[in-house]
Structure formats: structure tokens, C-alpha cells
């Protein structure tokens, strides 16, 4: 169910989300849904739009480890994945998150960024090494070309000297 809901959040804008909440709220009114998926959707939307400090999801935060946090820009919703629980929160609302949960979220994000930066640095090191190797190869080939040009120039000079000798000999003989 959460994968489906996450997919909806990716493609929904804020108005779509509010319309879905109104539809679910109108369907169930003051009653609670009986089917599992309807109950989960109803609970998630109710937690998102009408958070109450006394709800179990807020009381039991210390029992769960933060696994992931995402921001869905299109609908402006934070999605917090914890062990056995998903919490979806509107960006502009305040929710009763405990300091330990907020610390876990920030530590998780910081750790992800550190890993990404390390990967980028590794990629840069590989790229820098490749550039150095390529530069060394270019220097090698340039030196070969210069040597070949020098040899070619020396050969041309020798040929020119031989031609001059031939011309002088022919003039001397005539």
C-alpha cells in the first residue's frame, strides 16, 4: 500500500492530494473504514491533514528507527519511513515529532550526503587519474612525433645536401 501511496505522491500535485482527502473523508464521514487498504489510506490522510498529539503514531516514535525521509516537491509532502510505520506530513503543517526523531532524520540525511560526496570524490579521483594517464600518453606521443619530425628533417637535409653535391659535380664536369 505504501508503495502505491508513494507513487501517487510522486505524480500528484497538492490539489490532487486535497481532493483525495476530501473524497475519502466524504466516503467515510464519521465512520471508520473496515477494509485494510481503505483503513491505511484513511489513517495516512487523517494523520497528514489532521495531526493530533494523542495519536499512536506520534506517541510511539521512540519505538521506531528512522529508515528514510523524502520530500515530494510536486505535492509538498514529507514522507518519513520508520520501522513498521510510514508517516506522511504536509510541508506547511507542524507535527509532534520528538527531538530524537528529528535528530535521526537529520543524521540519516547527513549520512546520505556524506556518502554521495565520497562517491563524487572517488569519481573525481578516477577522472583525475585518467586525465593524468591521458596527459602522459599525449606527452609520449608528442615526443614520438617530434622525434619523427626531427628524423624527417635530418633526412630531408641529407637529401638536399646530396642534391647540391650532384649539382656541383655536374657543373664541375661540364
Give the domain extent around 84. 2-97
Same domain, 111 and 168: yes
Structure-block grid coordinates of residue 80: 518519513
| Among candidate residues 74, 97, 120, the one where a domain is terminated | 97
Mean pLDDT of the chain: 83
Boundary of a domain, candidates 78, 97, 116: 97
**Coil/strand/helix, residue 14:** helix
Number of folded domains that form the chain: 2
- The model's pLDDT over 16-48, given as tens digits with 9 standing for 90+, comes to 989 998 988 888 777 776 677 777 788 888 888
**Residues 84, 107: one domain?**
no
Q: What is the mean pLDDT of residues 93-97?
A: 88
Which pTM does this prediction carry? 0.60
pLDDT score of 1 more than 60: no
> Contact at 8 Å (CB) between 81 and 73?
no
Q: What pLDDT shows up at residue 127?
A: 79
SS3 content of the chain, % helix, strand, coil (to 5): 70, 10, 20
Check pLDDT > 70 for residue 174.
Answer: no
Q: Which residue has the cell 508513494?
A: 6
Q: Is there a single domain that holds both residue 71 and residue 112?
A: no
Backbone angles phi, psi at 118, to 5 degrees: -60, -40
Cα–Cα distance between 49 and 52 in angstroms, integer? 10
Cα 109 to Cα 14: distance, rounded to the nearest angstrom = 24
Q: Are residues 134 and 155 in the same domain?
A: yes
Amino acid at each position: 500500500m505504501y508503495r502505491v501511496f508513494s507513487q501517487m505522491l510522486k505524480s500528484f500535485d497538492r490539489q490532487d492530494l486535497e481532493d483525495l482527502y476530501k473524497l475519502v473523508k466524504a466516503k467515510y464521514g464519521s465512520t471508520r473504514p473496515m477494509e485494510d487498504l481503505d483503513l491505511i489510506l484513511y489513517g495516512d490522510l487523517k494523520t497528514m491533514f489532521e495531526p493530533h498529539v494523542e495519536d499512536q503514531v506520534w506517541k510511539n516514535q521512540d519505538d521506531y528507527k528512522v529508515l528514510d525521509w523524502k520530500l515530494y516537491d510536486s505535492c509538498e509532502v514529507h514522507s518519513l519511513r520508520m520501522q513498521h510505520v510510514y508517516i506522511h506530513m504536509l510541508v506547511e503543517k507542524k507535527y509532534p515529532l520528538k527531538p530524537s526523531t528529528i535528530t535521526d532524520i537529520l543524521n540519516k540525511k547527513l549520512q546520505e550526503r556524506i556518502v554521495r560526496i565520497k562517491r563524487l570524490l572517488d569519481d573525481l579521483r578516477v577522472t583525475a587519474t585518467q586525465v593524468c594517464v591521458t596527459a602522459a600518453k599525449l606527452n609520449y606521443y608528442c615526443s614520438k612525433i617530434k622525434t619523427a619530425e626531427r628524423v624527417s628533417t635530418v633526412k630531408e637535409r641529407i637529401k638536399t645536401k646530396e642534391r647540391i653535391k650532384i649539382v656541383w659535380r655536374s657543373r664541375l664536369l661540364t
